[in-house]
Structure 1
Amino acid sequence: MKPVILVVDDDPQVLRAVRRDLLDRYTADYRVLAAASGRDALATLDGLAAKDHEPALFLVDQRMPGMTGLEFLLEAAGRFPDAKRVLLTGYADADAAVTAINRVRLDHYLTKPWDPPQERLYPVLDDLLSDWRAGRPAGDYGGVTVVDVFPSPAAHALRDFLARTSRPFRFLNVETSAEGARLADEHADAELPLVLFPDGEALSAPTSGELAARLGIGAAANRPHYDLVVVGAGPAGLAAGVYGASEGLSTLLLDADVPGGQAGTSSLIENYLGFPAGLSGTDLARRAVIQARRFGAELLYPVRAVALRGEGSARIVTLADGAEVSAEAVLLATGVSYNKLDVPGADRFDGSGLYYGAAVAESESCVAQEVLVVGGANSAGQAAVHFAKYAAKVTLVVRADSLEAGMSRYLVNEIRRTPVIEVRTRTRIVRFRGGRRLEQVLLRDDRTGRVAAEPAGFVFAFIGARPRTGWLDGVVARDPNGFVRTGPDVPDAPGARRPALLETSVPGVFAAGDVRSRSVKRVAASVGEGAMSVSLIHGYLTGTPAPASAPPSPPGGRGRRAVR
């Protein structure tokens, strides 16, 4: 069965017109169903649920008698939380749209009339349906199958890689799935986890790099020398890739993991300009990758940079496999990694109950489970709200006296109005317990000193971050915490020129985003720095004066070549 688009409107003329436009565009890939009221639409959903068939998108009129569009979406979201939601409104319904964004995670709203659909309807729905398909398990829609026991750190790493690269897949537990057990028996000589492809090929216990190679990701660089090499493909690196390539620089992005960086593990980013309903870190990264490639940037991952050196005017980046790429300029945008929990049992359950970051690949595993989220900043709050859609209970464990100490007001308000989330302030985890998998944690109340056991099958930790700069020891100046110094923060050297605002202690090597000392740890700030760095790199390549904080370079101190 094709996935379903459900349109709901009480006006017969409008309903016919919307359905006609949807059939013209989407009939090859979707079933378009129509309902003349919210109640009729709920009956349609009951029929879909009975056939275990999930809708992809709801397009619903707000002003309907008996049940408004918002009221229908509240009901529908409880049944099909992953379907995309679009509200049809009049010009006077802006308040209803904002309410829907807050209450049901509305993805978009369209004002009537939507003509011409080629400009005002299809681009919006194409984008949302692309997001929906990117997050679907393989099922009938094609993709790979991962077979293993659950939980398994190795299988989690593969599933997380597939989820964050928007590759459709499904997971079969050999202990609970007859099909999974059969596939494991058919490949008895293979080591688990087993990865199966639609063409019948199987990989035995592959690494993420081996899986990436099979999927056609991470081929070798197309040229030996670039204008710009960006190390790290988080928000700052991706922004630099977009702006560098669009400005005519030959640009290569390298990432040790998956594009998106720490932001890519966020379940929902709600305060990023231009996305009133928010977007996931995975969606942000996917969109940015497409944009960068559209302008001609190359992207290699997972490939790890292990050394940086200069040879004349070139900057050489050495990769873990021994390969080298050179460039006129290098941007360090390696971001940060979440700190590990240093308590008994943490290492044992890492990847099999304890996860660092939102680990959205585990969302469906959390259905009706007890989930703990550790941390008091926005990432933890976003994760708590996300997992509340699946879990029976979410406990947010915070060391501070209150959520307000480190979390944005909008998240604090949303957490407080989500009934399945319990907040435990001045509390910390002191031990993990379980058999083959995590079963409970011991929590210590710092106010009383009392330690109590709490059931937990899943713990997601967001407890601060450390920069990924160990490979830069002795290469660029860093602060005591390992963050890269740039511009006015670079230590003075007698007779040396002052670096540009985002330039490091090494001429031609720049830094942007969370890896930079004293940076603002926000997605928008990282994107801005990534874009700004390209302007500064242009100045370096062409020998033009550096802006604002740094005086002009002495003659011959910078430009080595003209930019194409």
Structure 2
Amino acid sequence: MAIYDTFKTRSAQALPKLTAAEIKRVQRFGNLVCYRDGERLYEAGSSSFGMFVVLKGAIRISRYDGLGNSSIITEHGVGEFAGEISQLAGAPSLVNGDAVGDVEVLALTTESLRALLIAEAELGERIVRAFILRRVEQLNSHDGGVVLVATPGHARMHALQGWLSSNGLPHRVLDPRSDEQARALVERFQPEANDWPLAVCPDGGVKKNPSVVDLGRCLGTLPELTPDHIWDVIVVGAGPAGLATAVYAASEGLSVLVLETRAYGGQAAASARIENYLGFPTGISGAALAGRAFVQSQKFGVKMAIPAPAGRLLCDTYPVQVEMCGSLTRLQGRTVVLSCGARYRRPSLANLKQFEGKGVYYWASPLEAGLCHSQEVILVGGGNSAGQAAVYLSGHAAKVHILIRKDSLASTMSSYLIERIAATPNIELHVESEIVALEGCDEEGLQQVRVRDNRSGVEKDYDICRVFLFIGADPNTGWLDDCGVQVDDKGFILTGYDIPGAPASGRGGLETSVPGVFAIGDVRARSTKRVAAAVGEGAAVVSQIHGFLANRASAN
């Protein structure tokens, strides 16, 4: 996104003022609460709430980070309301809110806020739009949220920044060599070699060499999940198919939990521009599409857990149980929807893992594009995602070399992308070619790439330090062995009539060999690998879930 002051350019939408009649409609969802001048209504990193509508006085909103830095964003006066996307998710606030004068507010919990959004459609639309724009302002301000401290180029930084960016979470990075606060933090905590980087949570807590699970805990994206609760639907995977299921199921009154390993949007979120998705004639980035779907799911009350990889599916009891990876926590669902997609395919290069995140990447987001400024890069792959990434990177890199093993792109890529690649002067296509070696070191990362032309057998070294791999993916189904969900010879999940011995009628088209367990999207055998198809299956499976639950209820 371009950096701009949201409150100046779109103030009417980011800071709308409710009329007296609208406030009266909100009253049945909230409670009257009073605060004294200077009293804190909510605090970054620790306070969770739904929304505050100002009836008297004002609320001063300030950016705040765990290092104690604070700056005023705005003041909400009478008729305005406080809140942003964190409040829809039930996560802790990322800003401070303080009373200016004697303040009276209508205080809404997260649950009552969602009830308001559903009951008052037009008013709800304005509130959600304001929440989205306020999060955009937080992202563009580069203040607040998590503070990461490390020297540039640290091996762990790319993974942490990528996770935060992919989930739309504000953060900033400080170099202890040049920043006073970062230097003071290092002197206080004395990190050893294995303690880097440091992460400062909004509540001031400091974590050494944090995992994304640690960041999820401190930002509220990974809530505590109790094994006693029984969900109507547990969705494994928050790609387009899983998000569609979550939105449709929750909007129809089902309780929904979504478990996602990395970030909402799945592999589709890595697409720089999707131009053939119905309803978006100018195209939309995968990240933007996923972000809208995520907010939509929160509006309907979906519980989202990120990062929360599923470790095992247990089907010998009912409700079905999902055991979380790395723990013995078992979550119960009356139905389970498998939209767990696929794992990025990796070429057979001996030292590939050494350079992942330090020169080798599996997606092309603005974070990666910023690393490619005025450099030559290599992109491997001939599918639509590869084509979109190549065109996107061409706007940042000096040159993009596309490597494919086939003799043309015709059989794997949409014609509009082929034409665009041909018309882009700084993209060069290398057919029947592949990478055969990567060279570099742990400190500097990738430095050189050896490419072989399979037609002539000639190998050539390129002084290139950024390689993007878009060579497809394998189905993420290895964790299903304990449940007995049937898969085909390539590991994709069989559903409906594709299951050997399936009856001519009875089993739903998206139901697996295990009753109550469904599969949708890329992980399903014979699925159409398109975003629109994934969303369609995500919507279609909800009616089959209703049918399964109704049949089970009548049988009991």
- With normalisation by structure 2, the TM-score equals 0.72
Shift of 1:24: 5.1
1:9-158 equivalences under 5 Å are 133=137, 136=140, 139=142, 141-158=143-160
1:455 aligns with 2:456: no
Alpha-carbon distance in structure 2 between the residues aligned to 1:163 and 1:131: 12
- 1:296 matched residue in structure 2: 301
Shift of 1:344: 3.3
Query: For 1:395, what is the secondary structure of its paired residue?
Result: strand
Q: Is the 8 A contact 1:166 1:282 kept in 2?
A: no
* Count of aligned positions: 441
1:489 aligns with 2:489: no
Shift of 1:284: 1.9
Shift of 1:312: 4.9
Q: Is the 8 A contact 2:14 2:131 kept in 1?
A: no
Are the structure 2 counterparts of residues 433 and 295 from structure 1 closer, same or farther at C-alpha, using a change threshold of 3 Å?
same
Alpha-carbon distance in structure 2 between the residues aligned to 1:22 and 1:289: 22
Are the structure 2 counterparts of residues 344 and 176 from structure 1 closer, same or farther at C-alpha, using a change threshold of 3 Å?
farther
- 2:22 matched residue in structure 1: none
Deviation per CA, 1:409-463: give whole Å up to 9, x if none.
1211222222222221211100001233111100111121110011212111011
- 1:505 matched residue in structure 2: 513
Query: For 1:413, what is the secondary structure of its paired residue?
Result: helix
Alpha-carbon distance in structure 1 between the residues aligned to 2:471 and 2:459: 20
Are the structure 2 counterparts of residues 536 and 134 from structure 1 closer, same or farther at C-alpha, using a change threshold of 3 Å?
farther
Deviation per CA, 1:103-127: give whole Å up to 9, x if none.
xxxxxxxxxxxxxxx99x9999969
- 1:415 matched residue in structure 2: 421
Q: Is the 8 A contact 2:358 2:446 kept in 1?
A: yes
Match for 1:171 among 145, 169, 173? 173
- 1:286 matched residue in structure 2: 291
Residue 329 of structure 2 aligns with an amino acid whose one-letter code is A
- 2:210 matched residue in structure 1: 206
Q: Is the 8 A contact 2:373 2:398 kept in 1?
A: yes
Are the structure 2 counterparts of residues 3 and 496 from structure 1 closer, same or farther at C-alpha, using a change threshold of 3 Å?
closer
Alpha-carbon distance in structure 1 between the residues aligned to 2:180 and 2:425: 36
Alpha-carbon distance in structure 1 between the residues aligned to 2:127 and 2:432: 47
Shift of 1:221: 3.1
1:462-481 equivalences under 5 Å are 462-473=470-481, 475-481=484-490
Are the structure 2 counterparts of residues 153 and 484 from structure 1 closer, same or farther at C-alpha, using a change threshold of 3 Å?
farther
Alpha-carbon distance in structure 2 between the residues aligned to 1:123 and 1:409: 41
Comparing 414-423 with 254-263, greater Cα deviation is found at: 414-423
- 1:3 matched residue in structure 2: 4
Query: For 2:158, what is the secondary structure of its paired residue?
Result: helix
Deviation per CA, 1:475-505: give whole Å up to 9, x if none.
1100011110000110116x89752100100
Match for 1:193 among 194, 197, 203? 197
Q: Is the 8 A contact 2:6 2:136 kept in 1?
A: no
Match for 1:333 among 329, 339, 342? 339
Are the structure 2 counterparts of residues 517 and 408 from structure 1 closer, same or farther at C-alpha, using a change threshold of 3 Å?
same
Q: Is the 8 A contact 1:259 1:289 kept in 2?
A: yes
Q: Is the 8 A contact 2:14 2:129 kept in 1?
A: no
Percent identity of paired positions between Structure 1 and Structure 2: 41
1:316-331 equivalences under 5 Å are 316-320=321-325, 321-331=327-337
Q: Is the 8 A contact 2:342 2:476 kept in 1?
A: yes
Are the structure 2 counterparts of residues 509 and 26 from structure 1 closer, same or farther at C-alpha, using a change threshold of 3 Å?
closer
Q: Is the 8 A contact 1:243 1:531 kept in 2?
A: yes
1:227 aligns with 2:232: yes
Shift of 1:231: 1.1
Alpha-carbon distance in structure 1 between the residues aligned to 2:160 and 2:13: 35
Shift of 1:265: 2.3
Query: For 1:203, what is the secondary structure of its paired residue?
Result: strand
Comparing 268-277 with 315-324, greater Cα deviation is found at: 268-277
Alpha-carbon distance in structure 1 between the residues aligned to 2:453 and 2:356: 24
- 2:544 matched residue in structure 1: 536
Q: Is the 8 A contact 1:396 1:424 kept in 2?
A: yes
Q: Is the 8 A contact 1:251 1:297 kept in 2?
A: yes
Q: Is the 8 A contact 2:518 2:541 kept in 1?
A: yes
Alpha-carbon distance in structure 1 between the residues aligned to 2:128 and 2:504: 52
Are the structure 2 counterparts of residues 246 and 125 from structure 1 closer, same or farther at C-alpha, using a change threshold of 3 Å?
closer
Query: For 1:146, what is the secondary structure of its paired residue?
Result: strand
Unaligned ranges ≥5, structure 2:
17-121
Query: For 1:457, what is the secondary structure of its paired residue?
Result: coil
Shift of 1:202: 2.3
Alpha-carbon distance in structure 2 between the residues aligned to 1:523 and 1:459: 25
1:218 aligns with 2:227: no
Alpha-carbon distance in structure 2 between the residues aligned to 1:464 and 1:487: 25
Query: For 1:271, what is the secondary structure of its paired residue?
Result: coil
Q: CA RMSD in A?
A: 3.1
Alpha-carbon distance in structure 1 between the residues aligned to 2:221 and 2:205: 17
1:242 aligns with 2:247: yes
Alpha-carbon distance in structure 2 between the residues aligned to 1:319 and 1:520: 29
- 2:256 matched residue in structure 1: 251
Are the structure 2 counterparts of residues 509 and 128 from structure 1 closer, same or farther at C-alpha, using a change threshold of 3 Å?
closer
Alpha-carbon distance in structure 2 between the residues aligned to 1:345 and 1:243: 44
1:362 aligns with 2:363: no
Alpha-carbon distance in structure 2 between the residues aligned to 1:252 and 1:362: 31
Comparing 416-425 with 482-491, greater Cα deviation is found at: 416-425
Query: For 2:353, what is the secondary structure of its paired residue?
Result: helix
Alpha-carbon distance in structure 2 between the residues aligned to 1:381 and 1:130: 33
